[in-house]
Amino acid sequence: MAKGIKTGGGSRKGRPNRATAKREAEITASGLTPLDFLLTVMRDGSRETAERMDAAKAAAPYCHPRLAAQTLSIGGEASYEDRLRLLCELDAMSDEQLVSREAALRAELEEAERGRHG
């Protein structure tokens, strides 16, 4: 009995079997994919609204990405009240005070970046 890697013989990886190849050829020949059909039904104003809605629901995952929940983290460990207080303070500042505050924060950020990178 031979040992080691099997050479030759067998089907190539990724090659569809006859049934799959036939089905794909028929779909290509018809010129209408299942998604195209669903979109046609969805856009057909002469159909019932419920039927159009079902087609839209079935087609949606193939047309639009599913949205995922995101967690928003602002200001590190600051509480909601602290952030609200800061927003109120910023709202009360003049344009000159805001420009000065921005410059100070940018300087702090640059200093922190320099300390972190060497």
8 in any annotated domain: no
Q: Are residues 88 and 59 in the same domain?
A: no
CA–CA separation, 86 vs 44, rounded Å? 54
1 in any annotated domain: no
Structural domain of residue 38, as residue ranges? 18-63
Q: Are residues 59 and 86 in the same domain?
A: no
pLDDT value for 74: 59
Residue at 50: amino acid letter: A
pLDDT value for 80: 83
Q: Are residues 27 and 57 in the same domain?
A: yes
7 in any annotated domain: no
User: How many distinct structural domains can be found in the chain?
Assistant: 2
pLDDT value for 6: 67
pLDDT value for 13: 79
44 in any annotated domain: yes
Question: Digits of tens for pLDDT over the chain (118 positions)?
Answer: 567 776 766 777 777 788 888 888 887 787 888 888 899 999 999 999 999 999 999 999 988 888 888 776 655 677 888 889 989 999 999 999 999 999 999 999 888 888 877 6
101 in any annotated domain: yes
85 in any annotated domain: yes
* H helices present in the chain, as ranges: 18-30, 34-43, 49-63, 80-92, 95-117
75 in any annotated domain: no
pTM to 2 decimal places: 0.39
40 in any annotated domain: yes
pLDDT value for 95: 92
Q: Are residues 87 and 59 in the same domain?
A: no
